[in-house]
Amino acid sequence: MQKSSMIVRHRLFDRLCHWFIVVTAFFTILSGFSFLYPSFQWMGAVLGSPQLARVLHPFTGVLMCFTWMLLLIRYYKHNKFQKQDAAWMAHMKDVMLDNEDKIPPAGHYNAGQKMLFRMFILTSVVLTVTGFIMWQPYFAPHFSPEVVQWAIFFHALCAIVLLLGLIVHVWMATWIEGSIAGMLYGKVSRAWVRKHHPLMLDESEQEKH
């Protein structure tokens, strides 16, 4: 493929952040779920042993959440809602049924990705704040038992919401052919952009001026 027909979608720094988050999320989510339910305890082995998982989970979580927030800040400008997003949402049925010719054109991100982006912001902030409140033996002793109990509740709730959102995120990424290659190598073909995010071509033109 000619170089001129390729368009930059993800910069190197963002791609490194993204894949670093995937690795830390793997350890954080599996170890976190091992605490949630007795029959999930075996998942703690991902960090060596259940005891090590208890010690290391907050550290991998902090690494994940801070890198993740950095990525969210970097992608914020592409995730603002625009007028074409309402039309895209109204055609959700066509999106699910893969009626490509009926789906309204999307910009850099489609409305579904923008909704997930908001869920990512909410869960990353709540998981970080509640995680610090619960963190034994460093921070938890500074809070009342009631506050710690509420923090545990919201931490677990957000972890479940995040996991469901991630399942959708990975499903969308694998469903749209060429999307993962874009996150791996940074560039996508002009034909890919025209098919999945046609208004991105106008947006990048506007950015040049």
Active-site positions? 169
Q: What is the 3-state secondary structure (H, E, C) of 174-189?
A: HHCCCHHHHHHHCEEE
Binding letters toward ligand HEM, positions 77-96, x by CB under 6 A: --x-----------------
Q: Write down the H helix ranges in 37-144.
A: 50-75, 83-90, 92-96, 111-134
CB of 102 to ligand HEM, least distance (A): 20
In three-state form (DSSP H/G/I as H, E/B as E, the rest C), the secondary structure along 118-132 is HHHHHHHHHHHHHHH
Is the CB of 33 or the CB of 75 nearer to ligand HEM?
75
- Does 23 interact with ligand HEM (rule: CB under 6 A)? no
Rounded CA-CA distance 62/157 in Å is: 18
The residue from 27, 35, 88, 120 that contacts ligand HEM (CB under 6 A) is 120
Here the tokens at position 187 are 């560039």
Would you count residue 52 as binding ligand HEM (CB under 6 A)?
A: no
Does 9 sit near ligand HEM (CB under 6 A)? yes
Q: Quote the distance between the C-alpha of residue 195 and its chain's center.
A: 23
| Interface ranges with ligand HEM (CB under 6 A) | 9, 18, 21-22, 25, 68, 71-72, 75, 79, 109, 113, 117, 120, 166, 169-170, 173, 179-180, 182-183
